[in-house]
Every structure is written in C-alpha cells, then in structure tokens.
Amino acid sequence: MSDRLLIDLATLPEEGKNFSGELPAEIFDLPEHDAKPVGPLSYDLRAQRFGSELLLSGSLSAPFEFMCVRTVHPFKQTIHVEGANVSVEIEQEGPLDATEAVREEILLAFPDYPRCDEGDEPQHCEIDSRYLAVDKPAGDGVETRPRAPGDDRWSALDALDKHDSER
C-alpha cells in the first residue's frame, strides 16, 4: 500500500490510464473528537489529462467510526463515492500528488447527521426520552442546565408567556 496517490504526467497516455489501490487511514488526519478512520481509502480511478487539469473519475470508499447523533454511541459506516469526478489543477510537469483531492472527496461525502441506523450494520436508533425537552417527565433524574448568571436573553420570551397566560 502506497502512502500517496502519485500520477506521473510524463508517462500518462493521452487516452488516460486506470489506477486502483489503497491509501492508509493516516491520510485523513482528523481532529480527535471527529470521525475516526478504521481502514484504508480504496480507489478505482481513471486519470485523464485535459490541458492544465487532471480529471480522476471512478469510485472511492473508506470505513469510519462515527458517533450517532441520536444515541451517542459509536458505529461503523463505510463512505462510498460512486461516480466520483475529481479535478486536480496541474501546476508543474512531472509526478502529480492527487492524495489530498481524493481525501477531500471522501470527507465531503460524510453524513451531516450520522445515525447508527444508516451504518454498515444498522442498529436501533432512538433518542432516549429522558433527554427530550418536550414531554419530559418530572422524575427522570436528568437535571436541566441552569442559565448562565446575568443571561437575560430569554426574559423577553418568559414575559410573553406570562402575558399570554393572563389573557
């Protein structure tokens, strides 16, 4: 497994060439509390040059561990990008490193709100009712966070509520 996706422009045929392989999970270099890559980035791409641009077309995939937004439990989901079209600007002749471009394509395909029922092995995904503000039972044992001292942003709404109840 190579640690970079290098395409030698000098030997790239005019009609293009296929590239396939894997890049190590370390290329993602994500913050500590973000998704965690749990395997390599797999690629099957066709590279073709168009003037000062290199077009990579094909498929990408990489497995990640996400935190479910509903259950707050980790789960594994493989991100698949079928029909990927990645354009890389050619700044100089010679080997071109397309690693960052394919990495970004996977990151752009991350789910906005990862849910464990959409993982590789779907799990029951339901919010614990103790943490809902609506219909919250009085004796649930979960404390409501106090407002910060001097925080009066909600006082206008509190006044409206009192005003409506007096009608």
Give dist(CA 84, CA 55) in Å, integer: 10
Contact, 29 vs 59, CB < 8 A? Answer: no
Mean pLDDT for the chain overall: 85
Higher pLDDT, 124 or 167: 124
Structure tokens, 2: 């190579």
Mean pLDDT along residues 25-40: 92
Read off the pTM: 0.73
Q: What total of structural domains would you count in the chain?
A: 1
- Is pLDDT of 81 > 80? yes
Contacts of the segment 78-85: beta carbons below 8 A, 24+ positions apart: 78/120, 79/106, 79/109, 79/110, 80/109, 81/105, 81/106, 81/109, 83/57, 83/59, 84/45, 84/56, 84/57, 84/58, 84/59, 84/60, 85/55, 85/56, 85/57
pLDDT for 91 equals: 87
pLDDT bucket at 110, cuts 50 / 70 / 90: very high
**Percent of the chain with pLDDT strictly greater than 70:** 76
Domain contains 13: yes
Mean pLDDT along residues 137-142: 60
Strand partners, 62: 79
pLDDT for 80 equals: 97
Domain contains 100: yes
Domain contains 109: yes
Domain contains 43: yes
Half-sphere exposure in the Cβ direction for 117 (13 Å, CA) = 7
Domain contains 46: yes
Q: What domain range is 105 assigned to? A: 6-118
pLDDT for 160 equals: 72
Max Cα separation, the chain? Answer: 81
Contact, 49 vs 12, CB < 8 A? Answer: yes
pLDDT bucket at 108, cuts 50 / 70 / 90: very high
Domain contains 137: no
Domain contains 140: no
Domain contains 97: yes
- Phi, psi at 17, each rounded to 5°: -155, 145
